[in-house]
Structure 1
Amino acid sequence: MTTDGMLALHTLRRGAPDALPLVLLHGFPLDHRMWLDVTDLLAGDPTVLAPDLPGFGTSPGGPDVAAAVGGTEPSVDVMADGVAATLHAAGVDRAVVAGLSMGGYVAMALVERHPDLVAGLALLDTRSTADDDGARTQRLRVADTVTAELSVEAVLGMRTALLGAGNRGTRLDLVERLDGWIRDQGPLGVAWAQRAMAARPDRTAVLAGYRGPAVVLVGDEDEVTPLEAARHMVGALAGAELVVVRGAGHMTSNESPEPVAAALTALLIRATAG
């Protein structure tokens, strides 16, 4: 398949061309910009690649990406295959992969579908289990609403829900940034991603089979994918480190980017040495 114009691969920071790169996969309903606070703090000026996932930012929609990779229905697997194809087209055959929330689902799909690509794995504020019936129904309801209204109004509440309880009323700068990032997304992309996430499988067994270096990070005020979900993944992974970020919710990358950058830098060092 060709990748020209399919996935816009944003290089936020370019280090040594022969260095092991760090690939950052964003959460829902955002784009690569959610990583900017973290990339400014990474030690050693590493090569960082942060693609907009299908339907977000400047990338084409999910159906177009699905057609290019041989998929049909909305699927996290399509997202992963699109990322893998984009990386290969950029000359990247091995990378440390970090994903937050939806990006974590994509990272786990990469481990399953493109294991040779993943030299190190960081799972931030995410979960390896599938949605239960209630969560799945809610995702599909939101997808239908944004499609019918051709508006992202139905997900604007996430501008506060994604933050820790202590930051919702005090970090108005973050609320404003999240509001702007969400409003920049297309409703059809938001709907496609909701349907893709609703259909994703449990990938705990995939983590159990992964043998590379890994870190699991979670905000201690994350109400979307709480500490129990992080501990579940650590229990499945062989030798994974658990990092708990104090005073942060689901958006650790923006609420408290310093420990996130430190954890990713340490993982990159481990993967490079290994």
Structure 2
Amino acid sequence: MHYIESGAGTPLVLLHAFPLDARMWNPVRGLLDDQLRVIAPDQRGLGESALDGSSARSVAEPGENRRTAEHPSLDLAAADILALLDRLELPQVVLGGCSMGGYVAMSVLRAAPQRVAGLLLVDTKAVADNDEQRANRLKVADRAEREGTGGWLADSTLPNLLGSTTHERRPEVVAGVRDLVDAQPADGVAWAQRAMAGRPDSVETLRSYTDPALVVVGEEDTLTPPDNARELAGALSGGELVTLPGAGHLPSIESPDAFAEAVRPWLSRLG
């Protein structure tokens, strides 16, 4: 598994959103790594991480319809993260995830809650997909395998990934996120969509977690809006909620200074 690491101190593992990679955390890395050891992995099949869990990425050509031997599952994605923690000799970390990264973080909680000393959930949700959402994910997976991801995936995801303020005032951010989406391998995109489509409801997992937790949401997020974030925070016994104005689904990219200002005090209290 490929990962980016910087800083020293309390380990903070940040899991990226779909359809992006670990680079989505770069805007906040320099704002946090004076206090923390920031570790951002590329999840299976995305960025520079291999789809089959090996050390080298192998990418299917559009139309090849090749799948990894393992059935797509966020439990497998969580196992990848736990294997990385073992490799880095980290018995406990603060674990953060945005959107899909939040789903994987909840899968880690199901598998090994003792490894998570603090939980940071960013623009994500605990409920499983409904039938329509699941069907849409599977359609995207099939199209990615048939056609690749160039152009159409960014066109379909950017309107909801970024808030209205970003679309209107931050063209360089929009262009940067488009580049990240266009860079993702088609087979990894398909695998991730199928894994997310099959994920279970995680509300009870959050209710059973008793260590500190912070929920961050962009005020302009239409995919997992502030009302959803309030429900997440309410499910966590130690949950706190911060809403960031002028940001959508990706506040670490859209409003990195505000994001860092929101999470640094909470991280400091964790010691």
Give CA deviations for 1:186-242 in whole Å, capped at 9, x if unaligned. Answer: 000001000000110110000000011100010111001111211111111003110
8 Å CA contact 1:99, 1:124 repeated in 2: yes
Structure 2 residue 82 is matched with structure 1 residue 84:
yes
Corresponding residue of 1:26:
16
1:43 CA drift (Å)? 6.6
Q: Which amino acid aligns with 1:14?
A: G
Q: Which amino acid aligns with 2:41?
A: P
Corresponding residue of 2:186:
187
Q: Secondary structure at the match of 2:146?
A: helix
Corresponding residue of 1:144:
142
1:79 CA drift (Å)? 0.8
8 Å CA contact 1:27, 1:103 repeated in 2: yes
Q: Secondary structure at the match of 2:94?
A: strand
Q: Which amino acid aligns with 2:203?
A: T
- Alpha-carbon separation, structure 1, partners of 2:114 and 2:127: 23
Report % sequence identity. 42
**RMSD of aligned alpha carbons:** 1.5
TM-score (norm 1): 0.89
Corresponding residue of 1:127:
125
8 Å CA contact 1:20, 1:94 repeated in 2: no
1:247 CA drift (Å)? 1.2
8 Å CA contact 2:160, 2:221 repeated in 1: no
Gaps of 5+ in 1: 1-6, 66-70
- Alpha-carbon separation, structure 2, partners of 1:28 and 1:253: 14
Which of these residues, 11, 14, 34, is aligned with residue 7 of structure 2? 14
Give CA deviations for 1:79-136 in whole Å, capped at 9, x if unaligned. Answer: 1110110111111111001100011101111111111110000000000001111111
8 Å CA contact 2:74, 2:103 repeated in 1: yes
1:152 CA drift (Å)? 4.1
Q: Which amino acid aligns with 1:91?
A: E
Which of these residues, 14, 25, 34, is aligned with residue 35 of structure 1? 25
Corresponding residue of 1:265:
264
Q: Secondary structure at the match of 1:41?
A: helix
8 Å CA contact 1:213, 1:270 repeated in 2: no
8 Å CA contact 1:150, 1:187 repeated in 2: yes
- Alpha-carbon separation, structure 2, partners of 1:190 and 1:262: 32
Corresponding residue of 1:176:
175
Give CA deviations for 1:50-97 in whole Å, capped at 9, x if unaligned. Answer: 100001111000x446xxxxx831011111110110111111111001
1:267 CA drift (Å)? 2.9
The residue correspondences of 1:97-108 to structure 2 (distance < 5 A) are: 97-108=95-106
Give CA deviations for 1:25-53 in whole Å, capped at 9, x if unaligned. Answer: 11011111110111121274311111000
- Alpha-carbon separation, structure 2, partners of 1:81 and 1:264: 26
8 Å CA contact 1:22, 1:268 repeated in 2: no
Q: Which amino acid aligns with 1:146?
A: A
Q: Which amino acid aligns with 1:220?
A: E
Corresponding residue of 1:224:
223
Q: Which amino acid aligns with 2:270?
A: A
Q: Secondary structure at the match of 1:156?
A: helix
Between stretches 33-42 and 255-264, larger displacement belongs to 255-264
